Structure 1
Amino acid sequence: MWQLERPGPGCSPPRLLLLVYSFFCAAGDCLFVTDYFTRTPRKLNAFNSFASVELFHFNVPEDTMMAVWNLITFKEQGGTFGDSCPNRNVTVYFRSGAPPVINPLHTHFPRDTVIPGSFAVTLTWTLPNRTTGAFNVTSPLPGDWFLAAHLPKDEGKISVKGLSEECQYLFQPQLIVQKLIGISVLYPGYFIDQMIPVHNRSALYKVFIPNYISKVKVQLVNCSTKNKSNDTCPVVLKIRARAPPVHNSSALDCREWNPCELVALVPAWEQWYYILVERYLSNSDVYFRIGVQVTDCSKSHLSKDRAQPSSSMNMPQSFGTAMGFSLSETLLMASLPGLSQNASPLHTSEDSIIYLAPTADTNKCWPIRPTLRNELDTFSVHFYVFFGPNISVPPDRAAVFAINLMPVLDSGGVLNMELKLNLSTLKGANLTVFGCLNHGMPLFLRENSSPKCESESAAGFFLSVNVSSNITKLRIPYPQTGTWYLGLRSLCATEHGFEACTNVTAEVYMRSYLTPCINDCGTYGQCKLLRTNNYLYAACECKA
């Protein structure tokens, strides 16, 4: 179910659009699409384990400005309204990308288990037999969203069945999304002249960032309010990956910078980046030239002997270009695609569109080594390293591996990672192998600094093995699907901190695999495979 909504002169926008209308009208003629999704009501259960939770799966479209979940709960008793049923609060959890990992009983997860974050709301009763709630997300991430709902744990009271009708609590979530149609698309390397008219608040753009990009730089130049470049630029530049910017996105006040350049280091790969140019209140139009430059590392520029395949480098390896073209070659061969219809008109001067080729970066991108996927059973998958499982970590560069989790299919299990350092290869060196497991793009560990597994916009999972502790494990229940990257870097401890080792190649045994549950749910638990509509997932519950 969908409908088109186009606010016209003298007409106020729908209430749900009011938050986005003043911020995202890029050219005075906004066009929104309203999508509506609902799920069949289900009976809720008291929480004993995740197997007693009702799980709901939604998909949020790209370019969504607002997502609103209506949460409807009602009571039934004997086929009629359950006015006499006690009020039992309903807890609902939300998570993007994979099911939420919840712990209402405050039990302990096994060691080396990381718990992804999620949102939670509690619904209280406002009417005798019905209650509603809402969960709003501005500029939500696109793709899979999961809701988990349950009642509080049973109080342990014993009741005789048949003396009275059982009270049932039914839960039905509904999703309403508002999408903006016709967002202007920018292309890396191309600069175009744009204008925000006085009656608009902002302009929204998006640019697609492919694999093997180490830096994205948004540039806003020749900015003025009188079609002259010597005035200050009364705008704020914002950028965000996967969804339009929000209040805490990376931002830069262009009044203080000329030219105005906003840089995103270690950007997410294979994702849309959204760019918002938001003007300060004034009585004149704002003119500017905007463009996006990327730093391309799809070409290694390594010497021939260093790039030669060998078992010590655990080949094969890939720079991500299936046909052998780098990003710069692809853009040079392609003509400038047509701009979106809602983009501001370009000036007719000959230099209204200019092109700058991407620059190369040889320091941050090393070959990504693929892994072989071997499916044994449901949520039982092993990822094998070519020429492994022992892998060599050279002293002068990182060893990076890609692990691909299938969309939807793999998010219902547990991702396991194990590293074991071979001490016999260290030759007495005080060496530590640091690992960084991250989703979406690799985070490269650099020497001469404190080892970190994070960037300005992303944080991964940190691992390390050394002489005193040569084994480490990591478990991620309900992992996000897509590509995970494991970067390994060997560094030696000195009095000045960690530095690159000399003439020592560390050898690490790596094991990566999916399992349905953690440790098969232990001695007193059992692992169950559950299904909600077409989505399959696993959960532990206590044995009877």
Structure 2
Amino acid sequence: MAKSRRTDQAARIPELGRRARVGGLQRGLGPEGLHGGAGGGSGGNLWVCQLSPSWKCQAWGHAGASPTTGKSWRVGEGGTDGTFVSEYFSQSSQKLSPYSWYGNAKVFRFRVPEDAVVLRWLLQVSQAKNPKCGATQATIHIRFGAPPVINPLGTQFPGNTSVRLSYNQTLTLTTGLQNSTFVNLTSPAAGDWFLAAHLPEPTGKIEMQGFSTPCVYIFQPDMFVLRLVDMPVLEPNVPLHQTMAWPRRVLHAKIFVPAYSATLRFQLGRCTVNASSACTVRVTLGSATLPPSFQKVLNCTGSCSLLLASPPWEKWLPVTVESLPGSSPSPSVSLDMTASFTACRPGGSGSFLSFFRSLNRTQGSTANATGLTKASAHDASGQEGSCLQGQPVIREDLDVVSVRFRILGESNVTVQAERPTLLLLNLNAGTDSGGTLVLNLLLNETSADLGNATVWACLNPASPVLSPNATTGGCRTAFAEGYSLSVSRSSAEASLAVPYPESDNWFLSLHLRCPESSAGNCDQAKARLAVVAVLSPCFEDCGTYGQCSLMRRHGYLYAGCNCKAGWRGWSCTDGTKAQSLGTQTLATLTLTLSNLFFLPAIAVALYRYYLVEASVYTFTMFFSTFYHACDQPGVVVLCIMDYDTVQYCDFLGSVVSFWVTILCMARIKNILKYVLCVVGTLFIAMSLHLDRRGVWNMMAPCLVAIILMTAIWASRCVTRRHCYPPSWKRWAFFLFPGISLAVVAVVVYVFMETTENYYYTHSLWHILVAISLVFLLPPGDKQQQEPWAWSRKLFCRYQICKNDREELYAVT
């Protein structure tokens, strides 16, 4: 979580990367209020906050503007009856990555405290000094309650997935090394806010570590919060009298919405200016979120009222009243605020009773039968007058970001036309917002005389939809818009997937709507519905061409799909650029069968009695073949052992092959050569274990061997007073072709490989390296007269391996 820092000094943000210090407790606000805006620049903007004689913040370099409206905004002004606390939250900076899947985005989580009246993010992006790095853009997404749902690549989402993309802000880095901007909100929602930052899509070129300096971009978010201490509480049915005396122009209050509140009526009355004329004020109800914000705004003159259906249950609702400019130069505004609720009494405890009955039937117990009968009678009487039918739901935690909701009692849910049926899905755990909420509905039966009746379902956070008429308007509550779906006899199944649902209590309200022909029999109509609700890390486990990955950021866990074989999208269901099965098969065969070009090198090594080199080439060919068979992104895959093990053996065999080949070319004594082979292999194994993809971990053994070979050849040239190797044919027909093939192979491997051409450029690397070994291996020893003589030494046992009888008896 973010850390809060408080001091008693003025706030100053001089340059990118520096930390701001914000005043602790301030009384009221200055005459100019608190201004804020969004802007950018290579050096950032300078903000100075003065503590006396009044609390005042002013921006140097540009005028404050809101990113959502483009106009200047203010929170409050003047007065001595309000105590504000300014807080500063920051998190460690992160290196940004090009976006190809959600795991590339850097996620940050901030918690906004209760009673916050101002929220400001300072978003800063810096670039390391590298003249080769050109202009780029960093995109920051912001969302309340859950990680942002983003789609930078414009891919397709799976069917039945409801997507509402998050608000985003783009920072451009051109010639400057840093850029910053502000994002401001008034009356922000209290709770978790998430930011996700990333760079544009990668170019696809495969970069070798050590051959080029990567472009590094750092993102640093900071959050400033101004909250009100001892905010007035508006109690139900109790008028709250407030006065705004100049220069104060804004007052704040809050209302607690109890559970099972069907409506909230807010009334503002007796609003006067200087106790004479009617006042003109702007009233804002609700908290601001990104996106969208469903705050209710009223322009009132004298008195006004607002009726809200389905307000958020068990939450504080902020109220902001702003005095609009009038004819009086220093007005004193007084007003009364009143809040009243209409309760919706639930029914449906019979579901608990039916559950206990099923337990008693299972266990053969009848001890509590009398009590259950009395309770059933009490429950039946309690159903009368209730406006909703409650259906208890059990939350069953299966794993990390994995929850199953089970209906208590019977497996089917009964839906009646006279009142909605309500199911509570508790997603209030800290990591529930990092998965995907999946809802499936199946209509089993309806009343026989209803015909094609329809069951409408609304899935909403914070509060349910209680009015049947609201289902036609998109399942909208007072401050949020839910998700709707329906089932009927003609279409009995429906499903919905909500990626990254907000951390809150979610409500599934079911409404039975009768056809017009059966309107007279609708009051007693019923429908039975099967409801399956689960929270899974990834929707359908990312499909065939995706891998569901669990990611962590400062203790927060969330999941995402990492696609392969050209498949893209949130759940790897977008196949517009996918590789066909034939392409996958061709890629696998090309990468694996190209290793067969090591067979000529193995044959030449055996023919010339280089058994160690032949063994290393065989090891390399075997593990390179099965590593690439296991490394394929599609379905044409074959893994003979753990992927990491096969990859390590492939890298080890490749480097050791170069090592033993160059030592063999040096033509040193066998004992010294074998010692260097073993010692070098041990050091190579250690080096690759530290970092198998580091270029110098692979090139250093080769350079050491080349230096050793060059020193030995130079020594022989000086000793024999002629070039070594002495034969020009050896140079012209073996060394020059072998070295040329090796150089071309390195160029292809380092500079030409991309994600698009990998399977044939890397296959060409295999072929060039394998053929170069045939040319670079030196000829065998002269005293070895017969080729393949090593084979008789391996299998001759006690037999005479060479016929020397003529020499034995040729004695004179």
TM-score class normalised by the smaller sequence: 0.7 to 0.9
Counterpart position of 1:343: none
1:424 shift after superposition: 6.7
Residues 364 and 444 in structure 1, CA contact (< 8 A), matched pair in contact too:
no
Q: CA deviation at 1:439?
A: 0.5
Unaligned runs of 5+ in 2: 7-23, 31-51, 66-71, 358-383, 565-632, 634-812
| Residue in structure 2 matched with residue 271 of structure 1 by the alignment | 315
Q: Which moved more, 1:284-293 or 1:389-398?
A: 284-293
What CA distance in whole angstroms lies between the structure 2 residues aligned with 1:46 and 1:293?
52
Cα deviation, residue 471, structure 1:
0.2
Aligned partner of 1:509 among 526, 530, 536: 530
Distance 1:126 1:238 in 2: 40
For 1:148, the aligned partner's letter is A
**Inter-partner Cα distance in structure 2 for 1:473 and 1:5:** 52
The answer as to whether partners of 1:65 and 1:178 remain within 8 angstroms in 2 is yes
1:285–1:474 distance in 2 versus 1, CA, 3 Å: same
Which of residues 321, 341, 350 in structure 2 aligns to 1:309? 350
How far has the Cα of 1:403 moved from its partner? 0.5
Per-residue deviation, 1:95 = 0.7
Confirm or deny: 8 A CA contact 2:187 2:287 kept in the other structure: no
Q: Deviations over 1:6-26 (max 9, x none)?
A: 357754612379999965358
How far residue 422 of structure 1 moved from its aligned partner, in angstroms, is: 1.0
Q: Are 2:351 and 2:408, in contact at CA under 8 Å, matched by a contact in 1? A: no
- How far does residue 535 in structure 1 lie from its aligned partner after superposition? 0.4
Query: Counterpart in 1 of 2:86?
Result: 34
Point out where structure 1 has 5 or more consecutive residues left out of the alignment. 317-361
Match of 1:254 in 2: 300
Residue-by-residue CA offset, 1:437-468 (whole Å, 9 max, x unaligned): 11001112426995751245331111100111
**1:447 and 1:499 in contact (8 A); partners too:** no
Q: C-alpha separation between the residues in 2 aligned to 1:198 and 1:289?
A: 18
- The alpha carbon displacement at 1:286 in A equals 2.6
Confirm or deny: 8 A CA contact 2:106 2:196 kept in the other structure.
yes
Q: Tell me, what secondary structure is at the counterpart of 1:14?
A: strand
3-state SS of 1:454 partner? coil
Separation in 2, partners of 1:516, 1:450: 31
Task: Name the amino acid aligned to 1:414.
Answer: T
Q: Which moved more, 1:443-452 or 1:263-272?
A: 443-452
Task: Give the structure 1 partner of residue 57 of structure 2.
Answer: 14
**How far apart are the structure 2 equivalents of 1:464 and 1:193?**
46
Paired position in structure 1 for 2:552: 531
Q: Secondary structure at the match of 2:434?
A: coil
> Does the aligned pair in 1 maintain the 2:312–2:479 contact within 8 Å?
no
**Structure 2 vs 1, CA of residues 272 and 159 (structure 1 numbering), >3 Å: closer, same or farther?**
closer
For 1:163 and 1:375, the matched residues in 2 are separated by: 48
The answer on whether the counterparts of 1:213 and 1:266 sit within 8 Å (CA) in structure 2 is: yes
Structure 1 distance, partners of 2:199, 2:422, is: 44
Which structure features the higher share of strand residues?
1
> For 1:24, what is the secondary structure of its paired residue?
coil
Q: Is the 8 A contact 2:273 2:333 kept in 1?
A: yes
Q: Deviations over 1:150-200 (max 9, x none)?
A: 111111234444233333222222212222223222211212433222432
Q: C-alpha distance in 2, partners of 1:440/1:184?
A: 23
CA distance, structure 2, for counterparts of residue 309 and residue 399 of structure 1: 13
Structure 1 residues 102 and 481: CA distance shift in structure 2, 3 A: same
Q: Deviations over 1:260-304 (max 9, x none)?
A: 322222211111122223323234423333322222334x6x8xx
Does the 8 Å contact 2:396/2:403 carry over to 1? yes
Q: Given the superposition, is the C-alpha separation of residues 29 and 450 from structure 1 closer, same or farther in structure 2, using an over 3 Å criterion?
A: closer
* Counterpart in the other structure of 1:433: 455
Alpha-carbon contact 2:456-2:487 (below 8 Å) kept: yes
Question: Cα 1:364–1:13, aligned 2, differ >3 Å: closer, same or farther?
Answer: farther
Q: Does 1:234 align with 2:280?
A: yes
8 Å contact kept, 1:435–1:489: yes
Alignment of 1:154-165 (within 5 A): 154-165=202-213
Deviation, structure 1 residue 72: 2.2
Conserved 8 A contact 2:136-2:174: no
Structure number with bigger Rg: 2
Q: Which residue of 2 aligns with 1:332?
A: none
How far the C-alpha of 1:224 sits from its partner, in A, is: 3.1
Distance 1:426 1:88 in 2: 64
Residues 72 and 105 of structure 1: is their aligned pair in 2 closer, same or farther, counting only changes over 3 Å? Answer: same
Aligned residue among 485, 503, 507 for 1:463: 485
Q: Say whether the 8 Å CA contact 2:185–2:288 is kept in structure 1.
A: no
Cα distance between partner residues in 1 of 2:164 and 2:521: 32
Q: Which residue of 2 aligns with 1:293?
A: 340
Aligned to 2:312, what secondary structure does the other structure show?
A: coil
Q: How far, CA to CA, are the matches of 1:156 and 1:184 in structure 2?
A: 57
Instruction: Confirm or deny: 8 A CA contact 1:94 1:120 kept in the other structure.
Output: yes
Alignment partners' CA distance in 1, 2:521 and 2:167: 41
> CA distance change for structure 1 residues 308 and 165 in 2, over 3 Å: closer, same or farther?
closer
Is residue 2:108 matched to residue 1:67?
no
For normalisation by structure 1, the TM-score amounts to 0.80
Distance verdict in 2 for CA 1:365–1:112, change over 3 Å: same
Looking at structure 1, the residues matched to 53 and 150 of structure 2 have their Cα atoms a distance apart, in angstroms, of: 48
What does residue range 491-502 of structure 1 map to in structure 2 within 5 Å?
491-494=513-516, 501-502=522-523
Q: Distance in 2 between matches of 1:364 and 1:83?
A: 71
Answering whether residue 257 of structure 2 is matched by residue 209 of structure 1, we say: yes
How big is the shift at 1:93? 0.9
Whole-angstrom CA distance in 2 between matches of 1:449 and 1:375:
31
Partners in 2 of 1:499 and 1:484 — Cα distance?
Answer: 33
RMSD: 3.2
1-side partners of 2:158 and 2:280: how far apart? 53
Instruction: Identify the range of structure 1 (192-201 vs 475-484) with the bigger mean alpha-carbon deviation.
Output: 192-201
SS in 1 for 2:216: strand
What secondary structure, in the 3-state scheme, does the structure 2 residue paired with 1:99 have?
A: coil
Once residues 448 and 544 of structure 2 are traced to their aligned partners in structure 1, the CA distance between those partners, rounded to angstroms, is 39
Which amino acid counterpart does residue 333 of structure 2 have in structure 1? V
**Aligned residue type for 2:340:** Q
SS at match of 2:540: helix
Higher mean Cα deviation, 447-456 or 202-211? Answer: 447-456
Matches within 5 A, 1:177-216: 177-216=225-264
1:85 corresponding residue in structure 2? 133
* TM score, norm. by length of structure 2: 0.55
Q: How does 1:21-420 map to 2 (within 5 A)?
A: 23-25=75-77, 27-76=79-128, 81-125=129-173, 127-225=175-273, 227=275, 231-241=277-287, 249-255=295-301, 259-280=303-324, 281=326, 282=328, 283-298=330-345, 309=350, 365-420=387-442
Cα displacement string for residues 328-382 of structure 1 (whole angstroms, at most 9, x for unaligned residues): xxxxxxxxxxxxxxxxxxxxxxxxxxxxxxxxxx988424333101111122211
Counterparts of 2:92 and 2:267, CA distance in 1: 48
Residue pair 2:188, 2:287 contacting (<8 A) in 1 also = no
SS in 1 for 2:388: coil
Q: How many residues align?
A: 482
CA contact (8 A) 2:118 2:227 kept: yes
> Is the 1:314–1:369 contact (alpha carbons within 8 Å) kept by the matching residues of 2?
no
CA distance in 1, matches of 2:169, 2:315: 30
Q: Equivalents in 2 of 1:143, 1:202: separation in Å?
A: 24
Query: 1:474 matched to which residue of 2?
Result: 496
CA distance in 2, matches of 1:265, 1:465: 25
TM-fit CA distance, 1:47: 1.1
Please give the secondary structure, in 1, of the residue aligned with 2:479: coil
Structure with bigger RCO (C-alpha 8 Å, 6+ apart)? 1
Given that 1:426 and 1:505 are in contact with CA atoms closer than 8 Å, whether structure 2 keeps it comes out as no
